[in-house]
């Protein structure tokens, strides 16, 4: 009253002065330059960097804020000109010293804020004269000592903050001087013990905060005298035992002692605290909770027990009928009492997560339940009456259980349900009756749920999470549906229409089903999303990709099969070079089979791939298809690498030694590489990568981490293989002369053929490698459609091109193909083996006598078999029988004349002795697919002689430049 009277007198004096001045203006109240004054006695000088209390303030200032400055001390009588000051803020300075007389004269001061300074002790002498003080903040300093006379005379003090200091003990004596104290905060100190009667004189105390200390022990009578205490916070301490001292708090309403080390809560623990409304005791290593610990707490509204890992039984809540929120998580409770809802009819929130509950009772009596959380239990099924009558339920979380079946009427009465979480269970189907009001539905992790959902039963759905992307197709809008297949968007048959049922609501009509009135809501955020790698309609997407894949498939199957037939149809031994060509063709043939399977699937699921996508990706067919693709790709690259090495080694051996005897080594290496490709293809079957990451059955660029890691590893290995091929062939070409590459021998043609394979395969590998690394580069944004096109076209393209290059540009293929045709003619021409043998013998004899013989007849691989029985072998090929017949033995055998290859006939030492030269022996004994690969005239002559005589041609008519011919 005196303050307001002074203010009125002050205003009246200014009014009189203004009237006396006539036309003069009234002068404003004084305000220092850096401060802001409101004209009503308030001054704000905070954050101005002031080194001292500003001078020149109005004597009638009642509010002064000089916080967040650089004031380090308060000298004596610094506020002597502010007798009416009620609130003084000095927070956030560097105050380390306050003169005992610094606050003298502030008889009306009610609020003093000294937090966030550098004080090391309570300024007890400076506070003595502040009889009107009601709120004192000394938190966030460095106070270690509270003198006993600190708060003497502060009989009106109601709120005291001493938290966030360095106190080691409760200041019992100073606190006894505060009979009116209502709120005390001693949190964030280093207090380890609370003695008995520590707060004995604080009978008015309502709130006591002791959290974040190091309290281990509490005196049994430490809270005596706190009859009016309503809130006690003992959280985040080191309590080992339940605080029995709370029995002295009859008016306690909120108790917190979570995050301690309490192991046991005894029976009747809260029997003396009947007014308790909230108990927070979670995050304690509870091993035992008395069955009657929470009984008869009629005012209890919230109970939270978390992490009680040894609790086996559900607590007895008889008499705690007003409980609204119950949380019991992290226990070993396996059953819920059937009488739960009879005792807790007002329950609104129930959280029983992370327990071992196997069966749910009926919650029919809990009509006010709004949220039920039962995640991470062992629930196996939901009966029809479990949620009956819960018309107020809005959230139901049943995730991470073992639920396999849900009764079709289980959700029938949940008319208010908006959020349902059934993720990570074992559901086969989901009953949608009663779920028309759902806004959010989570079904991810139910990998056995492969069927589609009915969009018409979930018209208000906005967020959907499903196990497979194809289940989102039923919830896509018109535009989303058409965008999945650009070709379909151009149709104008009106099969899909946009209809507006209400403002802002766009639905699709005539999607897949033709039911009247079927409506599919548009604005549904569904995950995982559909797209190019998760198509709703067509697996191969556009017609351009489809036709390209079909073409690759047909060419790969036809030409690779042709290469295999021509390579392995001959009964002669296959050289390493031809063996590797055949193995590459076999690998490419499997890639053709892979593309063929995708083409057949695309045709079989035409326009409705979403109905087949889940079954395809999770089935054995996709795993087999993916295995074929990975094996084919890896085997082809590995065999091509070995072919490059083989060409380099063989050409080097021929140049140095005139022969190459590494057949076994290359065959063994080919076997090892085949095993390596098999292992790489099998890894996704053991969850290293995943064939089911896309309907293409490839662990290629779809974004998933396991598939991406597997793909990147394969790409790096394949890149290393191509680098090795480049180095080997560069070295090979540098070591060969130009004439070696220009000649038409099979050796040179095979070198050039492998070079073409390396070049083309590497060109087609580069786009696949780039898009495999693209998901790792955040700066590159590539549409899935492009990634899918590259994968479908460039991955199998080498399997199409490799056999075409061999068939059209390698002379060896033509030679092998000619042999097959001639063999076919011979088999067609011998319906009677005996007659054919006689005719063959007569023709052969006539030919040998006249010198004119049919080349086709003696070129056939089976002609010598019937001749053996009628003619002497030595008469069939006179020039072949040499003094040392080993030189031509392999040549004859390679041209399907096994009988002549082992002839024991002998001739004189001078008979065609050139065939015994080392060059002839080494060259033709090791390379059976050619008889001309040495520049020596004698060697070439010997080779021609062996070749033509093995065919039955008289040497005099079909050879030349042959020295020492006797006949």
Cβ(229)–Cβ(248) below 8 Å: no
SS3 37: strand
605-648 confidence digits (pLDDT tens): 998 898 888 999 888 999 999 999 999 999 999 998 998 888 88
pLDDT surpasses 50 at 903: no
Q: Which distant-in-sequence residues (6+ apart) come within 8 Å of 961 by Cβ? A: 937, 940, 941
pLDDT surpasses 70 at 87: yes
pLDDT at 813: 81
DSSP letter at 382 equals E
pLDDT at 82: 92
- Considering only CA atoms, which of 921, 872, 923, 926 is closest in space to residue 899? 872
pLDDT surpasses 50 at 963: no
510-547 confidence digits (pLDDT tens): 333 434 344 444 578 999 888 888 899 999 888 999 99
C-alpha distances (whole Å) from 966 to each of 50, 878, 913, 914 are: 127, 11, 11, 13
- Average pLDDT over every residue of 110-129: 95
Q: What are the DSSP calls for 288-317, one per residue?
A: EE-TTTTTT-TT--EEEEE--TT--SPPP-
Cis previous bond, 528, omega within 30: yes
- Average pLDDT over every residue of 92-96: 94
pLDDT surpasses 80 at 597: yes
746-759 confidence digits (pLDDT tens): 666 777 778 888 88
Query: What percentage of the chain carries pLDDT values higher than 90?
Result: 44
Confidence of residue 775 (pLDDT cuts 50, 70, 90): low
Cβ(247)–Cβ(224) below 8 Å: no
Q: How big is the chain, counted in residues? A: 967
> H-type helices in 605-737, by residue range?
610-618, 620-656, 663-682, 705-735
Q: What are the DSSP calls for 930-957, one per residue?
A: -S-----HHHHHHHHHHHHHHTT--HHH
Higher pLDDT, 834 or 306: 306
**Domain assignments of the chain as residue spans, ordered by start:** 543-652+666-738+747-822
Whole-angstrom Cα Rg for the chain: 48
Higher pLDDT, 719 or 884: 719
Distance CA 58, CA 195 (A): 48
- Average pLDDT over every residue of 490-499: 39
pLDDT at 490: 39
CATH number of 543-652+666-738+747-822: 1.20.1070.10
- Average pLDDT over every residue of 28-49: 88
Higher pLDDT, 925 or 601: 601
pLDDT at 792: 87
> H-type helices in 22-152, by residue range?
124-127
121-174 confidence digits (pLDDT tens): 999 999 998 999 999 999 999 999 999 999 999 999 999 999 999 999 999 999
Higher pLDDT, 522 or 2: 522
pLDDT surpasses 70 at 365: yes
Cβ(758)–Cβ(640) below 8 Å: yes
Distance CA 335, CA 504 (A): 47
pLDDT at 901: 38
SS3 content of the chain, % helix, strand, coil (to 5): 40, 10, 50
pLDDT at 741: 52
pLDDT surpasses 60 at 904: no
Distance CA 148, CA 156 (A): 18
Mean pLDDT across the chain: 78
Higher pLDDT, 116 or 730: 116
Structure tokens at 861: 């691989």
C-alpha distances (whole Å) from 104 to each of 76, 79, 82, 154, 827 are: 8, 7, 10, 14, 129
313-338 confidence digits (pLDDT tens): 898 899 999 999 999 998 899 999 99
Residue appearing with tokens 């520590």? 198
pLDDT at 778: 57
Confidence of residue 770 (pLDDT cuts 50, 70, 90): confident
- Average pLDDT over every residue of 920-941: 39
321: exposed, middle or buried (C-beta count within 10 Å: 0-12, 13-18, 19+)?
middle
Structure tokens at 396: 């139901």
Higher pLDDT, 381 or 877: 381
pLDDT at 83: 92
């Amino acid at each position: 009253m005196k303050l307001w009277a002074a203010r009125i007198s002050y205003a009246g004096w200014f009014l009189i002065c203004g009237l006396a001045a006539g036309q003069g203006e009234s002068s404003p109240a004084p305000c220092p330059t850096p401060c802001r004054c409101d004209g009503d006695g308030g001054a704000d000088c905070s954050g101005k960097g002031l080194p001292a209390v500003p001078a020149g303030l109005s004597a009638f200032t009642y509010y002064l804020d000089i916080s967040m400055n650089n004031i380090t001390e308060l000298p004596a009588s610094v506020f002597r000109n502010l007798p009416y000051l009620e609130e003084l803020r000095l927070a956030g300075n560097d105050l380390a010293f306050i003169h005992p007389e610094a606050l003298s004269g502030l008889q009306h001061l009610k609020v003093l804020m000294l937090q966030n300074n550098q004080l090391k002790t309570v300024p007890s002498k400076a506070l003595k004269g502040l009889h009107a003080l009601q709120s004192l903040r000394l938190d966030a300093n460095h106070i270690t000592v509270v003198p006993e006379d600190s708060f003497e005379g502060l009989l009106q003090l109601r709120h005291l903050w001493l938290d966030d200091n360095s106190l080691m003990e409760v200041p019992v004596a100073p606190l006894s001087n505060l009979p009116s104290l209502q709120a005390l905060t001693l949190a964030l100190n280093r207090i380890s013990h609370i003695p008995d009667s520590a707060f004995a004189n604080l009978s008015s105390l309502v709130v006591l905060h002791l959290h974040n200390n190091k309290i281990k022990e509490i005196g049994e009578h430490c809270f005596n005298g706190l009859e009016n205490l309503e809130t006690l916070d003992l959280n985040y301490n080191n309590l080992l035992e339940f605080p029995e001292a709370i029995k002295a708090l009859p008016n306690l309403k909120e108790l917190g002692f979570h995050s301690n080390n309490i192991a046991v809560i005894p029976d009747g623990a809260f029997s003396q605290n009947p007014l308790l409304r909230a108990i927070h005791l979670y995050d304690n290593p509870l091993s035992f909770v008395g069955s009657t610990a929470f009984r008869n707490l009629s005012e209890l509204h919230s109970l939270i027990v978390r992490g009680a890992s040894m609790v086996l039984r559900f607590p007895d809540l008889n008499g705690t009928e007003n409980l609204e929120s119950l949380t019991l998580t992290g226990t070993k409770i396996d059953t819920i009492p059937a009488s739960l809802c009879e005792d807790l009819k007002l329950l609104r929130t129930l959280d029983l997560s992370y327990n071992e509950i196997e069966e749910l009772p009926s919650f029919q009596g809990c009509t006010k339940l709004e949220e039920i959380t039962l995640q991470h239990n062992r629930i196996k099924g939901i009966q029809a009456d479990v949620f009956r009558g819960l018309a107020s339920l809005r959230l139901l979380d049943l995730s991470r259980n073992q639920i396999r079946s849900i009764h079709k009427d289980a959700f029938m009465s949940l008319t208010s349900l908006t959020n349902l979480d059934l993720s990570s269970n074992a559901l086969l189907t989901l009953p949608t009756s009663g779920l028309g009001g759902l806004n959010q539905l989570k079904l991810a992790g139910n990998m056995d749920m492969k069927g589609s959902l009915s969009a018409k039963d979930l018209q208000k759905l906005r967020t959907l999470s499903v196990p497979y992307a194809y289940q989102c197709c039923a919830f896509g809008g018109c535009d989303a549906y058409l965008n999945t297949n650009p070709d379909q968007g151009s149709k104008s048959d009106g099969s899909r229409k946009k209809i507006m049922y209400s403002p802002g609501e766009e639905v699709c009509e005539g999607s897949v089903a033709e039911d009247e009135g079927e409506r599919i809501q548009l604005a549904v955020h569904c995950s995982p999303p559909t797209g190019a790698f998760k198509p709703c309609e067509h697996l191969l997407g556009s017609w351009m990709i489809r036709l390209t894949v079909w073409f690759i498939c047909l060419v790969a199957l036809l030409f690779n099969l042709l290469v295999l037939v021509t390579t392995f149809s001959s009964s002669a031994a296959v050289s390493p070079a031809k063996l590797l060509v055949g193995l590459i063709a076999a690998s490419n043939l499997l890639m053709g089979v892979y593309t063929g399977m995708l083409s057949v699937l695309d045709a079989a699921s035409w326009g409705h791939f979403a109905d087949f996508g889940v079954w395809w990706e999770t089935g054995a067919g996709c795993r087999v298809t993916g295995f074929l693709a990975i094996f084919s790709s890896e085997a082809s690259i590995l065999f091509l690498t070995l072919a490059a090495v083989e060409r380099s080694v063989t050409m080097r051996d021929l140049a140095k030694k005139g022969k190459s005897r590494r057949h076994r080594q290359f065959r063994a290496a080919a076997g090892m590489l085949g095993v390596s490709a098999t292992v790489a293809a099998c890894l996704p079957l053991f969850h290293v990568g995943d064939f089911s990451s896309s309907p293409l059955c490839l662990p290629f660029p779809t974004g998933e981490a396991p598939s991406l890691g597997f793909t990147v590893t394969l790409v790096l290995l394949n890149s290393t293989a191509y680098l090795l091929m480049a180095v080997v062939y560069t070295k090979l070409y540098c070591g060969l002369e130009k004439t070696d590459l220009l000649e038409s021998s099979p050796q040179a043609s095979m070198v050039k053929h492998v070079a073409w394979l390396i070049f083309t395969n590497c060109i087609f590998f580069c786009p696949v490698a780039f898009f495999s690394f693209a998901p790792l580069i955040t700066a590159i944004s590539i549409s899935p459609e492009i990634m899918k096109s590259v994968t479908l076209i460039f991955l199998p393209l080498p399997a199409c091109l490799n056999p075409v290059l061999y068939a059209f540009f390698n002379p060896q293929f033509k030679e092998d193909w000619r042999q097959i045709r001639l063999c076919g003619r011979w088999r067609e021409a011998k319906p009677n083996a005996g007659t054919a043998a006689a005719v063959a013998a007569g023709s052969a004899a006539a030919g040998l006598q006249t010198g004119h013989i049919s080349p086709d007849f003696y070129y056939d691989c089976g002609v010598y078999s019937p001749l053996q029985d009628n003619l002497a072998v030595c008469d069939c090929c006179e020039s072949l029988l040499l003094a040392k017949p080993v030189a031509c033995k392999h040549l004859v055998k390679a041209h399907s004349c096994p009988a002549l290859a082992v002839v024991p006939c002998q001739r004189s030492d001078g008979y065609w002795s050139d065939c015994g030269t080392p060059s002839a022996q080494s060259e033709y004994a090791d390379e059976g697919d050619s008889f001309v690969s040495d520049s020596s005239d004698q060697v070439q002559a010997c080779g021609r002689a062996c070749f033509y005589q093995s065919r039955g041609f008289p040497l005099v008519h079909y050879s030349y430049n042959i020295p020492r011919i006797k006949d």
